[in-house]
């Protein structure tokens, strides 16, 4: 069964601000859909998982070094 999250739920899950969340949607980094007459955004759980996996893959490619 598909599960959809609101933008605030995804932002909280990723521990980012709402402005960062909106930027990810605008850039197409996270795929979402607008639902209803007010056009509220929803992110499907599988799309969030895909985004997270792409970030892990990018981190592996760059070596994942932490800098302070």
φ, ψ at 42 (rounded to 5°): -135, 145
Distance CA 3, CA 18 (A): 20
Cα torsion angle, 17, 20, 7, 1, sign: negative
- Predicted model pTM: 0.83
Q: What is the pLDDT along the chain (68 residues), one digit of tens a residue?
A: 999 999 999 999 999 999 999 999 999 999 999 998 898 999 999 999 999 999 999 999 888 676 65
Looking at the domain covering 4-55, what would its CATH class be?
A: mainly alpha
């Amino acid at each position: 069964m598909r599960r959809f999250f609101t933008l605030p739920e995804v932002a909280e899950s990723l521990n980012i601000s709402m402005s960062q969340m909106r930027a990810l949607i605008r850039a197409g980094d996270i795929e979402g859909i607008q639902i209803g007459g007010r056009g509220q955004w929803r992110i499907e759980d599988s799309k969030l998982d895909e985004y997270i996996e792409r970030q892990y893959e990018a981190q592996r490619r760059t070596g994942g070094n932490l800098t302070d």
